[in-house]
Structure 1
Amino acid sequence: MWKQSPLSNHCWCAVICIVPVLNASLAMVSRFLWHDPDHMFCISDIPMASWVLGILWLIPLVFINEGIKLHEIRMRVRYQKRQKLQFDTKLGMNSPF
């Protein structure tokens, strides 16, 4: 899938490590600041429809992203072919593309 390992990108690795830590710390801080002893929040308080919609929206998102990616690849190929035709030599003028 990749030509290089994603672990070779140091910025990406740092973000992958830092973001969950920051997210958990923000959740803990907000929990301590806005703690209401009369109401204890539980995972079961979230309706099942919200869980289902939260998971199922990923399926159309994958198809939309793949469609956009294919469109961008086609546009890039078209642009490269157009650049070849504008090359002012015999090779460019007689190019079969």
Structure 2
Amino acid sequence: MSVDYYKLTKEFLVNEGQSPDTNILTYVQALSETIANMRPRSQAEGRRLAMARQQLKEIKKYAKRLQEQINVLEERVNVLEEIKEDLDNAKTNR
């Protein structure tokens, strides 16, 4: 079995800049787990962690809202593209 080095190199270069399928909620979840595992050594650190947890909750709410808006906008774009295709097909059929 021979190895196609050209193909391997091309696939590596093409996929080099891509990141795995993640979204902001994945990052928020990972950060939440990291914060949950931290143990404060002083009251000041405890207050900082409490503030970080609260801010993370707010970020999660905003991220969910943004994701919902993205989904709605994607649906609208799909509908508009379908309408455009229908109009283009109607023009070519005349």
Q: Which TM-score bucket, shorter chain as reference?
A: 0.3 to 0.5
Q: TM-score normalised to the size of structure 2?
A: 0.48
TM-score by length of 1: 0.46
Larger CA Rg, structure 1 vs 2: 1
Whichever structure has more helix as a proportion of its residues is 2
